[in-house]
Amino acid sequence: MTTKERFKRCIEYFSKTMPVAESELDYSNPFELLVAVVLSAQCTDKRVNLTTPALFAAYPTAEAMAEATEEDIYRYIRSISYPNNKAKHLVALAKKLVEEFGGEVPTDLDALQTLPGVGRKTANVLGAVLWGKEVMPVDTHVFRVAARIGLSRNARTPLATERQLEAGFPSELLPIAHHWLILHGRYTCLARKPKCENCGITEWCKYYQTKRVIIKAEN
């Protein structure tokens, strides 16, 4: 099966099984999503969602968070991975939002990446989720699932995977395709023990087909 055919089958399958696919982070405005995505680095969305209600109640705006100290923020996010670094980033990005962007989250992705703690993936997540920009954020789930299915080939970096996925999916589907791959990786195509027995795409999944050939050869 060609890579082009795999993209076609991927779109057909997930369009039927996951017609609505959205971020699992809880937020009510762009500032809250920005903070939540920064916190979610190497941390589960579930843990972030347990943490952010109190944080957002105390610091509902960039202006409020800009007045906080790193120690103030740390007290709210200490159960999150790397709380010291993230507290530092949140205070600094809040201050920069106030000083350079009028307290508003910029819609320009390059401008977003000038904020402390915000890289390409985080900027692309906001672009795709908030504004429907035709970009493909690549996190660990997307990187893994794209390679396993066979949508990406020999992609050794998130950027390489991003480029291949953006070339393979129709541009208008990129925002939802990002969620398809994340959710498939989160609940089915797990990192250590993928649930191939419960997966609906094994017929054309490169990983599964390769694994099946190896098992047959061993038997």
Cβ neighbours of residue 107 under 8 Å, at least 6 residues apart?
127, 130, 131
| Given the residues 16, 86, 95, 139, the one annotated as active site | 139
CB atoms near residue 25 (< 10 Å): 19
Q: Where are the alpha helices (DSSP H) in the chain?
A: 3-17, 30-39, 45-58, 62-66, 70-77, 83-101, 109-112, 120-131, 140-149, 158-168, 174-187, 206-218
| Given the residues 26, 121, 193, 206, the one annotated as active site | 121
User: Catalytic: 96?
Assistant: no
Do 59 and 77 meet the contact criterion of CB atoms below 8 Å apart? no
User: Catalytic: 4?
Assistant: no
Which residues are marked as active site? 121, 139
